[in-house]
């Protein structure tokens, strides 16, 4: 009860955003500070990708995973993803004439942010970021259809070139993400390692490249590592579903997944972890069917209840917030714990800003 009582601070945050953020001078100051902060972080990501360390010397703990100023947490890609569309939307709101050069400048900035997210190697956030990027620009009436199609082509070329230029990124996005999903539908991992010579031959080239810089184990160990993420997340999802079956109606309790799954001899299907790493499975395991329905009803009403107003107002900051909030609920993609302080703060920050920057949705100003 005490742990959950603290969530009232997010309701206060929501009211505070709505009260302060529609004052233009305050709004501009804060968004400029956010923009400068995000640019510094983005530059730091590029520095770390080239040198192996960020400005303060962080980066050795996770090998080629980029941590930037977060030191011992590989979450910088998710942080940029949570804010960059807000900043891009703010830049678009500054120029009402939308000259050709200016809108291309903003597009280039967006591409730099997107590129930085992919550099971090955070696969789920990269997928969400490119999905959000596409929606943001395809719904932007200031770009012609031809420009949008050319933009998509440029994005695909840039991202493909980035991934193929690094054995680490190839391992993260191709061999560690796409291949396990495909092969899962054909045969078990063990069978692949023992019988599928074509698969081994295909992976052998990547293994040789990867071994020279990062991986010092045997080829079989490399195969295990390649599939480890997919197997890990599958195991977590199965574990969460087992918790849901044991507590079907109201779940194990908010943030109680870690206590239930880590009990000795509780259930052989449990995977001891802090959370299931997926929003829907987390809801079902910790809040059960009834709790999940209530939570999703409330959240979806808050997020999508003003959809028509946001679309018609063409407020780019609101659209950026809405896209990020929508991406949180893409099924099956891994995520952090929804109710953790970091993720819940990012969620409420976007939700609060989405309401506050338009007089039609601001709770203190709407008619």
pTM of the model: 0.82
Per residue in 293-341, pLDDT tens?
999 999 999 999 999 999 888 899 999 999 999 999 998 888 888 998 8
Q: How many other C-beta atoms lie within 10 A of the C-beta of residue 51?
A: 11
Give the CA distances from residue 77 to residues 48, 63, 128, 183, 278, in Å, rounded to whole numbers and listed in that order: 13, 16, 10, 27, 17
For residue 215, what pLDDT is reported?
44
Is 185's pLDDT higher than 70? no
Q: Mean pLDDT across the stretch 63-87?
A: 90
Q: Which are the contacts of 95, defined by CB distance < 8 A and separation ≥ 6? A: 102, 103
Q: Comparing C-alpha atoms, which of 48, 34, 138 is closest to residue 79?
A: 34
For residue 81, what pLDDT is reported?
95
Per residue in 193-242, pLDDT tens?
444 555 445 445 544 444 444 444 544 444 444 445 666 777 888 889 99
Locate the domains of the chain by residue range.
2-141+314-356, 224-305
Q: What is the percent of the chain where pLDDT is above 70? A: 81
For residue 212, what pLDDT is reported?
45
Per residue in 23-57, pLDDT tens?
888 888 999 999 999 999 999 999 998 888 889 88
H-state helical runs in the chain: 2-5, 8-20, 24-51, 76-94, 100-119, 123-138, 145-164, 167-170, 179-184, 189-195, 197-213, 219-246, 257-261, 279-304, 307-313, 316-327, 341-356
DSSP 176: I
Is 352's pLDDT higher than 80? yes
Tokens 């891994």 belong to 334
For residue 188, what pLDDT is reported?
44
Per residue in 114-167, pLDDT tens?
999 999 988 889 999 999 999 998 888 888 888 888 888 888 888 888 888 877
């Amino acid at each position: 009860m005490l742990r959950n009582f603290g969530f009232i601070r997010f309701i206060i945050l929501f009211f505070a955003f709505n009260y302060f953020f529609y004052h233009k001078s305050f709004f501009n100051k804060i968004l400029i500070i956010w923009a400068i902060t995000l640019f510094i972080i983005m530059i730091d990501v590029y520095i770390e990708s080239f040198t192996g360390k960020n400005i303060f010397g962080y980066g050795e703990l996770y090998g080629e995973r980029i941590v930037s100023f977060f030191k011992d947490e590989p979450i910088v890609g998710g942080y940029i993803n949570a804010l960059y569309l807000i900043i891009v939307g703010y830049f678009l709101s500054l120029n009402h004439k939308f000259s050709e050069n200016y809108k291309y400048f903003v597009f280039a900035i967006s591409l730099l942010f997107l590129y930085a997210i992919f550099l971090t190697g955070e696969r789920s956030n990269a997928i969400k970021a490119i999905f959000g990027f596409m929606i943001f620009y395809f719904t932007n009436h200031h770009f012609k259809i031809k420009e949008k199609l050319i933009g998509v082509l440029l994005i695909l070329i840039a991202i493909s070139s980035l991934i193929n230029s690094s054995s680490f990124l190839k391992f993260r996005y191709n061999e560690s993400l796409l291949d396990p999903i495909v092969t899962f539908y054909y045969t078990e991992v063990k069978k692949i390692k023992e019988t599928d010579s074509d698969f081994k031959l295909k992976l052998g080239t990547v293994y040789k490249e990867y071994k020279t810089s990062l991986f010092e184990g045997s080829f079989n160990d490399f195969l295990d590592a390649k599939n480890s993420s997919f197997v890990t997340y599958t195991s977590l999802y199965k574990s969460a579903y087992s918790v849901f079956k044991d507590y079907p109606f109201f779940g194990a309790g908010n943030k109680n997944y870690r206590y239930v799954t880590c009990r000795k001899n509780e259930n052989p299907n449990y995977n001891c972890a802090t959370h299931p790493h997926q929003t829907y499975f987390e809801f079902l395991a910790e809040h059960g069917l009834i709790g999940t329905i209530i939570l999703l009803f409330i959240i979806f009403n808050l997020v999508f209840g003003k959809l028509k107003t946001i679309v018609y107002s063409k407020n780019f900051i609101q659209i950026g917030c809405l896209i990020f909030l929508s991406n949180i609920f893409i099924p099956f993609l891994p995520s952090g714990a929804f109710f953790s302080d970091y993720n819940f703060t990012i969620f409420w920050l976007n939700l609060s800003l989405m309401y506050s920057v338009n007089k039609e949705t601001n709770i203190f100003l709407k008619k």
